[in-house]
A and B are shown apart, each in its own frame.
Chain A
Amino acid sequence: MGLFVAGVNPRRPVFPSASQHLADAAARRALLGAVSGHRSLSEGLFVAADGRLELYAVADEGCDAYDIAAGLFGAVAEGEVAGALYFAEGIDAASHLFAALCGLDEFARGPREGASLPGECDGLAAAGELSQPGGRGALGAPGLPDALAACWARALSEARKAATLGDALTRLAAAASGLSSALSAADASASTAALAETAVELARRVFGHLERRCVLAAGAGDFSLALAGAFLGAGVERFQVLGDGNCEEAARVLGAPVADPQLLSALLVDADIVLAESAVEGASLDRRLMKGVVRLRRGRPMLLVDASADGSLIDHRVASLDGVFLYAVADLAAITRDAPWARLGTDDARERLFADAVRTLALQMG
């Protein structure tokens, strides 16, 4: 299979003119027409947007794909193109696309961070798959992952209309689509990890060391269980679970028995951190109850996290009580946005998904 990718290095002088020219859909259609008419190319699509100009194509065996790409880009760029391209072929071309989608390439991490090659280039070079004759630029894919996904979708649409989409690129597109879906799911779970870390940090700002603190999980669901897990990892040793029969799993994970909702007041006096996700029959966290609890706690602070979807499980007026700090999921998300751990779990998940996607496609390609 002669799949390859060639792109114009955005750090070279020819990039702006080429980018400006290919910003026009008609220009891209004309270029796809040139691909369609080329005797050595069977498939092709152009990814063109701010910071990215790439040609994904399938060339016949034995022909110089780099020269073909240089010729195609040279028709739209002002200046010398041959030495301003980055290039990869075979599974490395697919790997390049997947790395860009996962935000793992040099440009996704941060612009202008130096001239070092991105990690995927090191791997490609070590595998001997990367063709880098003299004068050829470093491999890199500029632009944010989300923008790339949108550009890729447009490129597919245009290639489909121009009838330059074949089996190889279709298979590549399917793999990219699957990877995007997996990334979305991973981001959701990673954001849960980040929110949990924020809750733990807030607890540390209130209590300092968490070893002697008690966490009460009321109406435990997936999210509050994730929060409780984060507190468990942070050193909390005492947990209480309050539920009306659906919390056995949470009780098992946290090593705590399920308490009777009638004992809510007593449980709250002992609990320093409360995680409430769903309503429990006979247990309502209202201001009147919390006022009595605050008095019995003799001024010790409390951190309450309303983990319900709409943040209305705990009475908002509770926040006005002295020493009671109430946070809803939206509040945690707002704080997490600028936190250093905002991408907690994201990078590891993305690297894992990237590796899986490359391995799967390599097996399919044979």
Chain B
Amino acid sequence: MKKKTPSSRRSADDRGFRLGTGFFALLVVLLVAGIFWELYRTSQLSLEKFGFKFWTGKVWDPVSGEFGALPFIWGTLYSSVLAMLISTPIAIGIAVYLSELSPRRLRTPLAFLTELLAAVPSIVYGLWGVFVLVPIVRQLQVVTPSWLKKVPLFSGPPLGVGMLSAALILAVMVIPFTSSVAREVLRAVPATQREAAYALGATRWEAIQAALRYGRTGIIGAIILGFGRAVGETMAVTMVIGNNPQVTASLYAPQYTMAAVIANEFTEAADDLYLSALIEIGLVLFVITVIINACSRLLIWSVTREVKFKPPKPVSTVAVPAAKGA
């Protein structure tokens, strides 16, 4: 047995611990790198054959081997943007209410309830969408006055399934993500911001505005985070959007999204090119969501971190010594 001083053995042990646990932490990073590499590798066929044309082509015809992904990009972006337009004001409203306005006693249960929205599995939203929401939307389409139907936004037969149903259900699913992060951001805004506003005679809303302005980068991060969720959401959208690859502005028209086409056609992809084209859509979905999530994290951290490391001095400790000196 080699002679070792206890302290050197200890530091060797500690290094082993650091490297050992560090290896598992490294696995998390390797996982993300591995996903990218695997998707890139298996989509080679389609990447080489179509190049950039893949993203501008409007025709998706697996039988003749023609793959254009524009309708899916369109459907994903359109549904996500619509969902954000609906959900963002509500989510910010929830965050403001829960962090600034609600009675203390209501705060925790209400926060729990809104976050429960995120816990409901996507497939359950889909089931509810198919059997409850879609018939309601169809009814709405039936009673749409004919002059309104001439507007491209509301044109098309009353099918129920389509962009409007998808956007509505996405909005519900995204609200809890945006609102809980926005709440976290607002909680990180120092109380002095609001106190200062009140001291200057601000109303409640004006004080809230001050807090929102202070945390605006984080709030934007929260919105982007919700957008990332909407872009990647699969099952519920697949079940209510109608799955018809077309580029149209109509809210009533059945459309298709990137995630939905993968979910629907992956097991049917008979030849290698078809499969590779679907994986390329997955690759782009991955890259987009990684970028979106990276941006939103950085924005959110810039607010919540800053405060954690540099707690602003409470007003009283600054004011009291000055008063004593005077």
Please indicate whether A and B come from the same complex rather than being unrelated chains: no
